[in-house]
Amino acid sequence: MRQKEISLNIQPEPDEFGDDHHGSSAADTPLRPDAFEMDDEVKIEKIEKHFREIMHILGLDLNDDSLNGTPRRVAKMFVKEVFSGLNPKNRPHARLFENKYNYDQMLVEKDITFYSHCEHHFVPIYGKAHVAYFSSGKVIGLSKINRIVQYFSKRPQVQERLTVQIGKELERILQTEDVGVVLDANHMCVASRGVGDTNSKTGTAYFSGKFKDENIKREFLNYINSK
């Protein structure tokens, strides 16, 4: 992805029209206070029932061997997999380690694959996340960075909010203000419906602390854009 394709200033606007894809300015995923009072198995049963009705309304023959188990599969997928990041019990617990090597340069993990779902149409958003930080005296296991990206991805999302959530979570865990996050994503709500554009990608970025310095920002962007 070229630097000019990355949005460096995130200024989401309200979604006034059904086909627009702006996110709300809030960093938190909109959830009801009672979102997790219902047991997962009960959620699966209810979703299965309603999805079976949706398939019936669409005219599908649910007696067919290929379709009969689909409502249950979809329900389990929603609760246990693609939207599992809604549940705070699944939030990664990241252990920090002392920066024994006194490494004071930028640490970058790039090309983290993520899959999410557009909250406007419930179709996939997928792409790569690139994350960087400067240690404040602590470091984190590299796999935990991936898990943080996956956790916030596995919920209905808009890309702007996802980018900010990853950035703020890394600041909180790493106890540093020096974090950079860039997301480069494909939106199936653009490619498979609506305008039907299969070539465009969307770039978003979150920079804090040292990453607001143009030289450091450029170093990060040059690295993630290199082969």
The residues assigned a catalytic role are 118-121, 159, 187, 189
Integer Cα distance of 227 and 128 in angstroms: 14
Ligand-binding site membership of 56 (annotated):
no
Tell how far CA 167 is from the center of its chain: 11
Sequence-separated (6 or more) residues with CB below 8 Å from residue 89:
36
- Kindly report the length of the chain: 227
CB 180 within 8 A of CB 206: yes
Q: Is the dihedral of CA 142, 145, 146, 151 positive or negative?
A: positive
Ligand-binding site membership of 50 (annotated):
no
Ligand-binding site membership of 118 (annotated):
yes
The pair of structure tokens assigned to 26 is 């809030």
Residue ranges of the annotated binding site for Zn(2+) are: 118, 121, 189
Annotated binding site: 118, 121, 189
